[in-house]
Structures are given as C-alpha cells and as structure tokens.
Amino acid sequence: MELTQLTEAIKTGNRKAAGLLTQEAIDAGVEPKAILNSLIEGMDDIGARFQKNEVFVPEMLIAARAMKESMVILEPLLVAAGIRPEFTALIGTVQGDLHDIGKNLVAMMWKGANFNVIDLGTNVPPERFVAAAREHNPQIIGLSALLTTTMPSMKSTIDELKAAGLSNAKIVIGGAPITQAFANQIGADAFAPDAASAVEVARKLVGSQSTAVLA
C-alpha cells in the first residue's frame, strides 16, 4: 500500500483518515518503522510551513492530533519493536509564575519534534523539577517565566538541579523578559526567543543530527 496517503492525512490534520490508513498499513504488513516515518514526514511538512509562517498553531495542533490518532494504534507495535523517542524533555513554568501558553507551545513543538515531553505545568518549585529530572532522566529541561520577578526562580531552579548532580540535562529558558545575556548569567545552556525556535535550540543542545525527526 501507498503511505503517501497517510502522510497527507497528517499534513491536513485528517484525524479519521489517519487512524484508518494506519490500521490499513498495519494490516497490509507494512513495517511499523516505515509507518512511523510516513507520519514524521507529514509532521515535518507542516512544521516547516509553520516555521515559514505559512500556517498557524491550530493547523499544527490538528496535525498533531491526527498523528496521535495514528500513534494510539501504532505505539504497541513500536514498543514491541523497541522503537521509542530518542530524547526526553521536561518543561515547566517556574515557581511564582502562572503563565501557561508559551510553555504549552514549546511543549507542542517539542512533541512534534519526537521528544518525549513531560509537562510539569506552571508555578513549579525547584524541588519538583529536581524530582522529575531524577525520575525521567531528560536530555532537555525547559524553564519558562513571564514575570521579571520570577526570572530569579530560573536561577534557583538551575542551581538546585546542578546541586543535585543533574547537570547532564541541558537547560533552555524562555519567556517575554528573557534574553541571551540572562541565560548566560544564570548558567542556562540556551535561550529560545520563541516557540518556533525552541525546536532548533533543543535539537542543537542534544546534538541531534536530524533536521526534522518528528513523531
């Protein structure tokens, strides 16, 4: 069977078609890895168009939902074959700060880039970052803040992560008042000026070769 139809279903966010075509492919005996790649190709396409400002977040979201529909069916086969996301990312808005959206967009973008994303929510104290990092062993930890008065919480969080010996995870920070200079100052590994660039930044940090490993 032709997987291009499945890729197209992801690109256009056709959830129903995505599910049906995935099942069809499995039934036709197509390799799980090949099916996954066709999904990735679809996400790759929409992601590139998003980066070029040709489509918006909702289009990204419906593509991601279509992908999810496929993955529900595909995942057990991938697990059985030992195929899993290469990288894990932890993300949260730091203590004292309630801002959601920027953090959510980055999480969505990272999921789209085939990161296993664990979202700790908002107002996350340093100790919860530390505990979650111990549990999930992430390669990337993303910290978000929108208030000048919660920016110092980023530093506390980084300090506690380092003190806990969790310094092999790369830390990337972002949010309206954040700058590269601040990132340098508090010992973050990187600064992402916006959601779209967060993927590039994260990939660079983990040294991922793929320009678009999406899943």
- Counting contacts by CB under 8 A, is residue 94 touching another protein? no
Q: Which of 104, 120, 107, 206 is nearest to 157 (CA)?
A: 120
48 versus 62: smaller Cβ distance to another protein = 62
CB of residue 13 vs another protein: minimum separation in angstroms? 11
Residues 38-57 interacting with another protein (rule: CB under 8 A): 53-57
In the list 4, 179, 204, 210, the residue contacting another protein (rule: CB under 8 A) is: 179
In the list 1, 72, 163, 176, the residue contacting another protein (rule: CB under 8 A) is: 176
Candidate ranges 19-27, 126-134, 166-174, 179-187; the one touching another protein (CB under 8 A): 179-187
In the list 83, 152, 200, 206, the residue contacting another protein (rule: CB under 8 A) is: 152
- Counting contacts by CB under 8 A, is residue 151 touching another protein? yes
Question: What is the pairing mode between strands 140-144 and 190-191?
Answer: unpaired
In the list 16, 84, 162, 177, the residue contacting another protein (rule: CB under 8 A) is: 177
CB of residue 45 vs another protein: minimum separation in angstroms? 15
Residue entry with tokens 């990272």: 110
- Counting contacts by CB under 8 A, is residue 200 touching another protein? no
Candidate ranges 81-89, 112-120, 149-157, 161-169; the one touching another protein (CB under 8 A): 149-157
* Residues contacting another protein: total by CB under 8 A: 32
Amino acid letter for position 28: A
Residues 112-141 interacting with another protein (rule: CB under 8 A): 121-123
Q: Which residues contact 108 (CB under 8 A, 6 or more apart)?
A: 57, 60, 61, 64, 195
Residues that bind another protein (CB under 8 A): 53-58, 61-62, 96, 98, 100-101, 104-105, 108, 121-123, 147-149, 151-153, 176-179, 181-182, 194-195
